[in-house]
Amino acid sequence: MTDILSEEEMRAALFGGASTATGEPSRHQDYNPLPLPASRTPLTKPLVSRLRVTLHVTKVYEGPLELFVHDVNTLGSLVAEAEAKAAAKKKKYRYFELVSVKSVQV
């Protein structure tokens, strides 16, 4: 079973009988792309529901409270609260008190 196959025979075995020489360009049917549709009027964006988390934050314990509002692209209130606290931590706030979590259409 030690048959030595030529390159053309290997190509025919792997890719089928219709093989072309490597130097010849392959013949493809004419490619006719579909015409582009007429320019559409821009559609309005679909309403996206977000959660708006409101926190009272402060940098020092029992210091002056500031209102921190953060919009989150999620529907889970616990996830939204965690993301809002993480955003507040990035702004160097240390103490948080949750005020509200409301759904907002943007």
Amino acid at 103: S
Domain residue limits at 54: 49-105
- In this model, does residue 31 exceed pLDDT 90? no
Would you say the pTM of this structure is higher than 0.85? no
Strands of the sheet with 95-105, listed across from one edge: 66-72, 49-58, 95-105
Name the DSSP letter for residue 19: -
- Residue 26 domain flag: no
- In this model, does residue 106 exceed pLDDT 90? no
Pick the residue with more confidence: 41 or 60?
60
pLDDT tier at 18 (50, 70, 90 boundaries)? low
- Residue 55 domain flag: yes
Task: Look at residue 19 in the predicted model and tell me its pLDDT.
Answer: 47
Residue 64 backbone zone (phi > 0: left; psi -120 to 50: alpha; other: beta): beta
The span from the CA of 64 to the CA of 56, in Å, is 10
- Residue 2 domain flag: no
